[in-house]
């Protein structure tokens, strides 16, 4: 791996460097006989990292494969195994990738689809950890990984919050599972849990989250120095490295750059007058068409300034307090009642001064998609702003139409201009 001067590197260089470093570390850990864990994106990494386990994140890995136009091969492998098209494409891409790694491990030969894949190489896991605070697909997906590979599966079961605020018994139920996970890790690792390191990791997560939220706050400025699509680009580190200082260092650099840019009168699209309107985006990015979704908005002068999705990793809690940590991991907006979800959406649109919203009706993600129509209607009723929706999918390119997206964006911008 190339060496980098952290103080002199740009945030973009740090992002690339740390993303590659995380994969490298997982490969090195495997070679050295250390444990590797595959983890759901909003499952708590604190316990595993405190036990020095290398972490790999299948959702982020699948997103990277999708962005590099390699997801169709992995989807084909999963579909041949019988995984239905209606299952989340992150799960199908990862289960396909796992199948190829497994074949390689069993035969000693690298399958062609794996050899030709643009995917960053990651090793097979020794254990997996999952959490249903963003969907229940993550339970069955990880159970299948554990069954196929005959490895332990740690599940943090998080109840859906039908009412707000979060009830104490719910926090206690989740905190008890953190304690149970610690016992499992002690058995798997064959040593006592390191509570001192655990506290340090919790503090690190808080520092990473603070800088992540600082970056997102720049979209509230008018004109915005932050192009909201950069939250998608940088998201890999808040998912995969919030328990390490990699995320904190990179986000701090990025936030400092945004501050300097704003002070110099430079904004998301360059000069102030290039920001013709501001829109919120609801849902996961279309990784397979990230450039197209961004450029279509840019062509209309529409800056994406608000999205609830990156806020899912705003996991603020008090280090040393298990109930507080439990609350942070259950308060994810898509794990709460419609009223709360709609209010989070409204608050995001309000704070970012969004004049319209683009809703991604994601074929993969039923729970997030559910918010879109009701959420859009709520925005129109409460804030009087228009919304449009489009059909898509985060990593299955067969479910996206460039023409449909373009016409929806044009319609939104026309509605925004009419209101003005």
Q: How far is the CB of 364 from ligand SF4 (least distance, A)?
A: 5
Q: How far is the CB of 408 from ligand SF4 (least distance, A)?
A: 21
Whichever of 137 and 293 has its CB closer to ligand SF4, that residue is: 137
Phi then psi for residue 305, to 5 deg, are: -120, -10
User: 338 CB contacts (<8 Å, ≥6 apart)?
Assistant: 371, 374
Q: How many CB atoms lie within 10 A of CB 262?
A: 16
Whichever of 284 and 379 has its CB closer to ligand SF4, that residue is: 284
Whichever of 269 and 333 has its CB closer to ligand SF4, that residue is: 333
213, 284, 340, 356 alpha-carbon torsion, rounded to 10°: 90
User: Is there binding between residue 94 and ligand SF4 (CB under 6 A)?
Assistant: no
User: 27 CB contacts (<8 Å, ≥6 apart)?
Assistant: 121, 122, 123
Which H helix or E strand runs over 149? helix 137-149
User: Is there binding between residue 255 and ligand SF4 (CB under 6 A)?
Assistant: no
User: Is there binding between residue 134 and ligand SF4 (CB under 6 A)?
Assistant: yes
Site for ligand SF4 in 50-79 (CB under 6 A): 59
User: Is there binding between residue 88 and ligand SF4 (CB under 6 A)?
Assistant: yes
Mark residues 296-315: x for contact with ligand SF4 by CB under 6 A, - for none.
Answer: --------------------
User: Is there binding between residue 137 and ligand SF4 (CB under 6 A)?
Assistant: yes
Q: How far is the CB of 366 from ligand SF4 (least distance, A)?
A: 7
User: Is there binding between residue 238 and ligand SF4 (CB under 6 A)?
Assistant: no
Q: What pairs with residue 391 in β-bridges?
A: 361
- What is the C-alpha separation between 75 and 366, in angstroms, rounded? 18
Whichever of 4 and 290 has its CB closer to ligand SF4, that residue is: 290
- What is the C-alpha separation between 46 and 178, in angstroms, rounded? 10
Q: How many CB atoms lie within 10 A of CB 126?
A: 19
Q: How far apart are the first and last CA of the chain?
A: 51
- What is the C-alpha separation between 236 and 242, in angstroms, rounded? 10
Select from 90, 198, 232, 281 the one that contacts ligand SF4 (CB under 6 A): 90
Whichever of 233 and 324 has its CB closer to ligand SF4, that residue is: 233
Q: How far is the CB of 155 from ligand SF4 (least distance, A)?
A: 14
Select from 138, 145, 239, 357 the one that contacts ligand SF4 (CB under 6 A): 138
Task: Give the count of residues interacting with ligand SF4 (CB under 6 A).
Answer: 12
CB 234 within 8 A of CB 19: no
Q: How far is the CB of 256 from ligand SF4 (least distance, A)?
A: 31
DSSP 21-73: HHHHHHHHHHHTT--EEEE-TTS--HHHHHTT-EEE-HHHHHHHHHHTT-HHH
User: Is there binding between residue 232 and ligand SF4 (CB under 6 A)?
Assistant: no
Site for ligand SF4 in 344-373 (CB under 6 A): 364-365, 367-368
- What is the C-alpha separation between 370 and 374, in angstroms, rounded? 7
Q: How far is the CB of 269 from ligand SF4 (least distance, A)?
A: 29
Binding site for ligand SF4 (CB under 6 A): 59, 88, 90, 134-135, 137-138, 284, 364-365, 367-368
């Amino acid at each position: 791996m190339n060496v980098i001067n952290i103080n002199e590197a740009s945030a973009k260089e740090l992002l690339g460097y740390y993303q590659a470093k995380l994969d490298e570390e997982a490969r090195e850990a495997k070679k050295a006989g250390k444990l590797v864990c595959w983890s759901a994106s909003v499952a708590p990494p604190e316990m595993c990292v405190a036990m020095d386990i290398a972490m790999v994140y299948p959702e982020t890995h699948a997103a990277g494969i999708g962005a590099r136009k390699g997801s169709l091969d992995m989807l084909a492998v999963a579909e041949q195994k019988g995984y239905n098209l209606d299952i989340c494409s992150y799960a199908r891409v990862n289960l396909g990738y796992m199948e190829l790694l497994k074949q390689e491990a069993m035969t000693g030969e690298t399958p062609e689809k794996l050899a030709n894949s643009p995917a960053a190489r990651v090793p097979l896991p020794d254990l997996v950890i999952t959490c249903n605070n963003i969907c229940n697909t993550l339970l069955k997906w990880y159970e299948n990984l554990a069954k196929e590979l005959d490895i332990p599966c740690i599940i943090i079961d998080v109840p859906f919050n039908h009412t707000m605020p979060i009830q104490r018994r719910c926090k206690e139920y989740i905190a008890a599972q953190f304690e149970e996970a610690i016992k499992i890790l002690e058995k798997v690792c064959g040593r006592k849990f390191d509570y001192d390191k655990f506290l340090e990791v919790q503090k690190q997560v808080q520092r990473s989250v603070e800088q992540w939220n600082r970056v997102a706050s720049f979209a509230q400025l008018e004109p915005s120095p932050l192009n909201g699509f950069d939250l998608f680009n940088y998201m890999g580190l808040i998912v995969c490295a919030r328990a390490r200082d990699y995320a904190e260092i990179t986000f701090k650099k990025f936030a400092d750059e945004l501050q300097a840019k704003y002070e110099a009168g430079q904004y998301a699209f360059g000069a102030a007058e290039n920001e013709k309107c501001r829109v919120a985006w609801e849902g996961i990015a279309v990784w397979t068409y990230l450039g197209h979704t961004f450029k279509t908005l840019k062509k209309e002068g529409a800056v994406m300034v608000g999205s609830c999705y990156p806020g899912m990793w705003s996991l603020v809690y008090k280090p040393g307090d298990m109930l507080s940590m439990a609350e942070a991991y259950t308060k994810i907006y898509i794990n709460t009642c419609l009223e709360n979800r709609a209010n989070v959406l409204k608050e995001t649109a309000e704070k970012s001064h969004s004049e319209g919203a683009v809703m991604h009706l994601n074929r993969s993600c039923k729970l997030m998609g559910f918010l879109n129509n009701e959420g859009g209607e709520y925005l129109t009723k409460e804030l009087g702003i228009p919304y449009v929706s489009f059909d898509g999918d985060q990593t299955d390119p067969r479910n996206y139409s460039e023409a449909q997206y373009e016409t929806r964006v044009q319609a939104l911008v026309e509605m925004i201009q009419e209101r003005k």
